């Protein structure tokens, strides 16, 4: 495998938005390094993608620093360098705040915050040395515009924090030629949402539909190409965050 090709690391690449992103980057000619919690899920994703040596699955818990180190070590050993990191792995739990259990709070913090921080640290070190790279965080439109009908304080708190961290890290890495941006999806048609709820969820978006993984792919690929865009949180939400 030529080490001159572009390589993207995508966390949470075995289903939903992450799997869609893996397919999109493969179509663009990238090597893809995807994470998942189990070897079985990664193997199933690899078989579905049918990308041969252009897809590398790395199992691990994104909320642990050693997983991030291993992820980048394997990516660099296989493909030589990493050009893009997409922090996609996430948990979304919607229910009244007082009903969150301590375990749910810790799990959300580990995946939605620590997972972004540890992977971004590894990316920042590697990309700063190369003086080139893109870090793209997948956050959530509800963190930009909370909704009384969707109680999801953990997503608002953690994804909202990542939105602000995106801007801060963009400033820190700008002198090294590394851009940092985020995409904030509305409700997207993934296995996370039952088909029975799609009509009701569509009503949350002024455009009258829920999003598709292709909608998110297009935004992420734009930011992967854009050399003069950094510190931006791009809503891809059918108008959800525009207001009421």
pLDDT 10s per residue in the chain (244 long)? Answer: 334 489 999 999 999 999 999 999 999 999 999 999 999 999 999 999 999 899 999 999 999 999 999 999 999 999 999 999 999 999 998 899 999 999 999 999 999 999 999 999 999 999 999 999 999 999 999 999 888 888 999 999 999 999 999 999 999 999 999 999 999 998 887 766 556 666 777 767 878 887 899 999 999 999 999 999 999 999 999 888 887 6
Within 10 angstroms of residue 129's Cβ, the number of other Cβ atoms is 11
Quick one: tokens of 30? 């990238």
Alpha helices in the chain (DSSP H): 16-27, 39-49, 65-79, 102-108, 115-130, 153-173, 198-202, 213-225
Q: How many C-beta atoms surround the C-beta of residue 235 within 10 A? A: 20
Task: Give the Cα separation of 27 and 72 in Å (integer).
Answer: 22
Cβ proximity of 26 and 32 under 8 Å:
yes
Boundaries of every domain in the chain: 7-236
**pTM, two decimal places:** 0.93
According to CATH, what is the number of the domain 7-236? 3.40.50.720
Task: Give dist(CA 228, CA 83) in Å, integer.
Answer: 16
- pLDDT score, position 195: 60
Query: Which residues does residue 36 pair with via DSSP β-bridges, in sequence order?
Result: 59
Buried b (16+ CB within 10 A) or exposed e, 88-103: bbbbbbeeeeeeeeee
- What pLDDT is stored for residue 52 in this prediction? 87
Question: Measured between alpha carbons, how far is 224 from 124 in angstroms, rounded to an integer?
Answer: 15
Give the three-state DSSP class for 206: coil
Q: Of 141, 140, 149, nearest to 96 (Cα)?
A: 149
């Amino acid at each position: 495998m030529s080490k001159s090709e572009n390589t993207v690391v995508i966390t949470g690449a075995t289903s939903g938005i992450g799997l869609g992103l893996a397919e999109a980057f493969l179509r663009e000619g990238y090597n893809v390094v995807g994470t998942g919690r189990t070897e079985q899920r990664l193997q199933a994703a690899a078989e579905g993608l049918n990308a041969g040596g252009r897809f590398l699955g790395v199992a691990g818990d994104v909320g642990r620093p050693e997983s991030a180190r291993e992820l980048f070590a394997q990516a660099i050993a296989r493909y030589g360098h990493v050009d893009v990191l997409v922090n996609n792995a996430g948990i979304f739990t919607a229910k009244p705040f007082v009903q969150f259990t301590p375990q749910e709070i810790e799990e959300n913090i580990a995946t939605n915050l620590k997972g972004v921080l540890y992977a971004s640290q590894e990316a920042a070190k590697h990309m700063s040395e190369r003086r080139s790279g893109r870090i793209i965080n997948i956050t959530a439109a509800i963190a930009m515009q909370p909704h009384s009908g969707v109680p999801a304080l953990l997503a608002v708190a953690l994804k909202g924090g990542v939105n602000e961290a995106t801007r801060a890290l963009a400033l820190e890495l700008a002198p090294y030629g590394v851009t940092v941006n985020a995409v904030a999806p509305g409700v997207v048609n993934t296995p996370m949402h039952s088909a029975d709820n799609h009509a009701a969820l569509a009503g949350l978006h002024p455009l009258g539909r829920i999003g598709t993984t292709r909608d998110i792919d297009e935004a992420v690929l734009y930011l992967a190409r854009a050399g003069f865009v950094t510190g931006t949180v791009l809503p891809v939400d059918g108008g959800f965050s525009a207001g009421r």
